[in-house]
Structure 1
């Protein structure tokens, strides 16, 4: 995640996690939304790297990968809970 500072990562990750929670109809708090967005971004970036897909850098790329990764994490969490 080059080019995105810690504060920007928290803000963008929180927004990506919040948006993923709204889309997936998950009811999590703001802290978990931030964690979902940041961790989701790391996971989505790693998965995309395995397929040799590079996401554009900067805030928009971080937001997109955070959103996709957070949706993936919510989906997997629902599978595990059932």
Structure 2
């Protein structure tokens, strides 16, 4: 069941990051991939900074911030 929550949070985070970064959504699969990788990246970055979040909202915030960082990095690489 936790895998399902992880995927749902990743999907929501990928969509939110796409909206925040003005790039629009990347489709269902693209948003899911960006969100899941963003969740891992966000958890890593927050861990380095000593920031720990809990609960559904904390996981969504962490994943969204990670996805925003991922989108920004991808845009820098594509240039």
Which TM-score band applies after superposition, normalised by the shorter structure?
0.7 to 0.9
TM alignment of 1:1-82, pairs within 5 A = 5-27=2-24, 28-55=26-53, 57-82=54-79
User: Mind listing any 5+ residue stretches in structure 2 that lack a counterpart?
Assistant: none
Q: Deviations over 1:25-65 (max 9, x none)?
A: 2241211111111111111111111122212x221111001
User: Mind listing any 5+ residue stretches in structure 1 that lack a counterpart?
Assistant: none
- TM normalised by structure 1 equals 0.85
Q: Which runs of 4+ in 1 moved over 4 A?
A: none
Structure with the bigger percentage of helix: 2
The whole-number CA distance in structure 2 between the counterparts of 1:50 and 1:23 is 24
